[in-house]
Structure 1
């Protein structure tokens, strides 16, 4: 279950969204080319821009729109052992609940998760029953992906005094404020814990844009591969003026 916050043409609407509704929103967002980012808590933020006509219909106005999905039960920190357990569940189509010594356990084709750990995964809403099979909840899947792609940028070097052999060492001799003879390096590195991003921005803002683009690309690829088969709803369930399902408001 998610807390859903919609910023639309008529203002802000808040409510709750079940997993299937959240899945449909994410799939629809990618089909429309909207930006999606996952959060370590297991939620997501969908953003897009509407181009509207201003008074008289002569000028275009940019209107930012967004839908935030915050899990009512956040994923929380995922230890290495927990991640291994979740990957076991996700990778075995035979995963189900079984009983051992009178207690419920999660079991796959050739493995079992102890009763205590099973109870903890259930309490954290990381697993969901679907018929006679057990699978990861959407919250768990989004949280895992977000925590696998933790991005960061480095502090720019700033003002520094070049070495004697630096061909640009004479630059800035007349700079005021005690910076005579100094150069400025505003570059910032952009990195992701997955190892797939190792970029360089001319400034901190540019580096942050690289990390944001990387997170959005990862989210779009995941949704297209795993959630895109979910059909978009035919009818809106809201009258807020900024239809959350078709996301055209």
Structure 2
């Protein structure tokens, strides 16, 4: 299988001591390309640097997560635009709304999100989106950009049937993570993933977060890493009633189309 991890936070400090080994383990499990998530003023340039150090294999997003929305100043906007001038940066985000934790005030979240939607409308790059407990406002803001965005993926989907079908009605892509493997919170996804059209399905680890709880043996450090994408696609294929090779091929094809990645 050739797999593409569309969301890995490889700039996270937990990878500082063994990042090269993490990449080697991922390659050994069939992960041929990764998109490194940029989610703040600090980490978006780091994601670009990683992508530039691994041409053709690693790519980056550049944006500001709603947790960091208060940092989205005019200076930050200029920094994001400079990052997006690089071809290795393949999507705007991670951006969106998060009313579950409210680490930034909601008005600040909406302002930062709108500015990044405008950036995507201007530069023609797809959107890498985050939404948690903010569905109504999220959909209303996205509606303001109908017909202006190249494409969008709701990354790390964990929501309801209603939310899923709202996204699919807009022809957006949906990213599935190891949340699927969580018997406490993710059981509803086992059924919902059957309804995602094959041409709108993407897979990701969101490493170092969301280690699949069905991985055996469980690593003692509890850190997720891209090598476990193979485990996620196996579980996803089983839930969809597909051969794993079919699910793997579809998600890889979709990732290349969505992010405009070269063959590898």
Superposition TM-score tier, normalisation by shorter sequence: under 0.3
Q: Where is the helix percentage greater, Structure 1 or Structure 2?
A: 2
TM-score norm. by structure 1 comes to 0.26
Could you say which structure has the larger radius of gyration? 1
TM-score norm. by structure 2 comes to 0.25
